[in-house]
Structure 1
């Protein structure tokens, strides 16, 4: 559809603008900002049925040539001319365009490869992995992953991951299996089978074990640990105690783990509950003191937490009655903020507790400041929208100065963050400080999810969901507020179709039916700043 010549009305003035229905509403709002000075986050554009949202479909609005839109909001300083010459989008190459828009791209489905696409999109939420791959990716699958991620960052079009898929199937032939229930047609081979995204996640992680680790600082010459050991590997302490022979000394062992499992039973309602059930179990084994099989209590706790914690929702279980894997549909609630201190050893908890407690207090203060700033901005916006064109230099008698300037006593957010960072860094335990890639607080935020849709393990459809702030780096707004704190929406990756997924819809991924249910969850340790 060709651009439309429309008008906007604000504070008694009318401005002429171009509206392109093929572009998202954010582009039109930016044009409104250019002529009115109203920041986009404080702008209300009135359309049929309410206000213009960032995800509004222009087809439902039905804009017409010459139409006038009412705009409400407090105008600030008009945008200044750019320091560098403007380069129009049509004059940019794909690399410059991708960097300018910072839009994630989708991956083409090459025949039952949604399991791989969803896994790759979720793993792309780990920026340290991309840095490590750029600095030294071994040949084979790691090199293919580096090339794929580089290609995805330099284009705005969906990518065909053919090269990576070939490398994956060469490294792990299980992903080259063909469906037994489909027959070859002529010279064509049978279709490829659907695969398990969690198995793809683990195999891909294993293939990256030789990727060099990241140094503590730029001056460090060599790194002893590999990247996966640094950022994605935890350490599990397991204690076996004989229930029938209390005098028998317990057996303690340690193992590296790439994930923790959430078992799902008929009584599991929460992720933490399912994880605890997986960590504390009863098993039978031969007792050396009794000389026979005896019942043991197995208690497992994490003695190291990685920066990125993978949680596997065990939704597929073998059913003997039908001799195949079946999906557990039960709804299990998962948190977006996860406190993992209940899963660690007492020794590790003692090291983390002071900093973890302080970080929770700091986050509460940050949330309070955000609320104050939002309330103040809303008050100013409402006052400006109802004010006459000539703005008085002093508040009117009907205005409450305290309410109009509720954030006047607040400093720039960056000032608070620097002060808080110093207080938090003073509480970091030396052992954790020296362990590159570990979590120093045990406090996590959810940044990526791989979901499965359908009732069967060997069919259905996988999708990836990634938090927007995990892809777009945090920046400061002119007012000093951290934008990433307020942008909690997600991207939905349905193969090559990418869309915005509101944070309010995350509970729909908890399961309870054949629709998409969380299968693999990726948590990132919370930063101190």
Structure 2
């Protein structure tokens, strides 16, 4: 109710404009049906992310469905996100002013959003999701982020030598001994420098590194150091997968972040099975 009232107030027909300033084609909603988000200085990264999140139906519906009171600082960011999504969906204006949304970041703990500072969009996404997780508590949509974007990866260490653990022997012509630890994720970071497509980036993500020589893995179960492969595998894919293309790196000569402008292609249909734990183990069994 408060959201509908706010949109109606913004479109109050009593607003007067001088005839010289009256240019309806510049003030109204775009002919393509979209409403933009106004750049508050250097917030283009934020606007691009919010537009993408708005176009995820499950997430947008969950935000609208959160039971948030019209007042109080604890859930101010969720309330402002509802207002932003509501205006993007229903407004007849060309764009929505995000000033109140930017100010609401300070109300959910931490520093206010500096609108004059350019930020890596993945860095901002982590900040936004952290604040939304806290703001969604007690709204009936506590698991919204997890249900939409939450996946799981396995940190896996595969022993490449024959080891004995208890009464069982691993390796050789038998199954390798593996140590696994599962953790959640919202995004998968991918290297794009010198990569022709995200398929190459995903291959690198799951390739892992060899632990040998002076860097051997101390296998606690076997009680000795062994050659091993340390890698990440996706154990559970989220409903909506967010791939973070790592477009910034730190230049130690200039002592600042620089943009990576390498072209990186992506397919319209992405098969993620080869990068999952199940898919990788299937390929290894077939190659054995």
TM-score by length of 2: 0.68
- Structure 2 equivalent of residue 310 of structure 1: 242
1:253 counterpart SS class? strand
1:334 counterpart SS class? coil
- Structure 2 equivalent of residue 229 of structure 1: 146
Asked whether 1:257 is paired with 2:189, we answer no
Equivalent residue runs for 1:44-123 within 5 Å: 103-123=33-53
Per-residue Cα deviation, 1:391-442 (whole angstroms, up to 9, x for no partner): xxxxxxxxxxxxxxxxxxxxxxxxxxxxxxxxxxxxxxxxxxxxxxxxxxxx
- Structure 2 equivalent of residue 85 of structure 1: none
- Structure 2 equivalent of residue 133 of structure 1: 63
Alignment check: 8 A CA contact 1:234 1:256 kept: yes
Shift of residue 324, structure 1, vs aligned partner:
2.0
Name the CA distance, whole Å, in 2 between partners of 1:292 and 1:317: 37
Point out where structure 1 has 5 or more consecutive residues left out of the alignment.
1-92, 177-190, 215-221, 351-529
Alignment check: 8 A CA contact 1:301 1:344 kept: yes
Asked whether 1:167 is paired with 2:104, we answer yes
Query: Which of 140, 163, 178 is equivalent to 1:247?
Result: 163
The alpha-carbon distance between structure 1 residues 105 and 144, as it changes in their structure 2 partners (threshold 3 A), is same
Alignment check: 8 A CA contact 1:303 1:348 kept: no
Per-residue Cα deviation, 1:485-511 (whole angstroms, up to 9, x for no partner): xxxxxxxxxxxxxxxxxxxxxxxxxxx
The alpha-carbon distance between structure 1 residues 288 and 121, as it changes in their structure 2 partners (threshold 3 A), is same
Larger Rg: 1
2:133 counterpart SS class? coil
Asked whether 1:335 is paired with 2:267, we answer yes
Point out where structure 2 has 5 or more consecutive residues left out of the alignment.
1-9, 13-27, 69-74, 165-176, 283-288
Give aligned pairs, total. 231
Alignment check: 8 A CA contact 2:102 2:112 kept: no
The alpha-carbon distance between structure 1 residues 128 and 315, as it changes in their structure 2 partners (threshold 3 A), is same
Name the CA distance, whole Å, in 2 between partners of 1:213 and 1:304: 27
Name the CA distance, whole Å, in 1 between partners of 2:106 and 2:42: 13
Query: Which of 139, 144, 148 is equivalent to 2:80?
Result: 144
Name the CA distance, whole Å, in 1 between partners of 2:189 and 2:61: 28
Query: Which of 84, 99, 119 is equivalent to 1:195?
Result: 119
Equivalent residue runs for 1:508-519 within 5 Å: none
Shift of residue 102, structure 1, vs aligned partner:
7.5
- Structure 2 equivalent of residue 37 of structure 1: none
The alpha-carbon distance between structure 1 residues 305 and 137, as it changes in their structure 2 partners (threshold 3 A), is farther
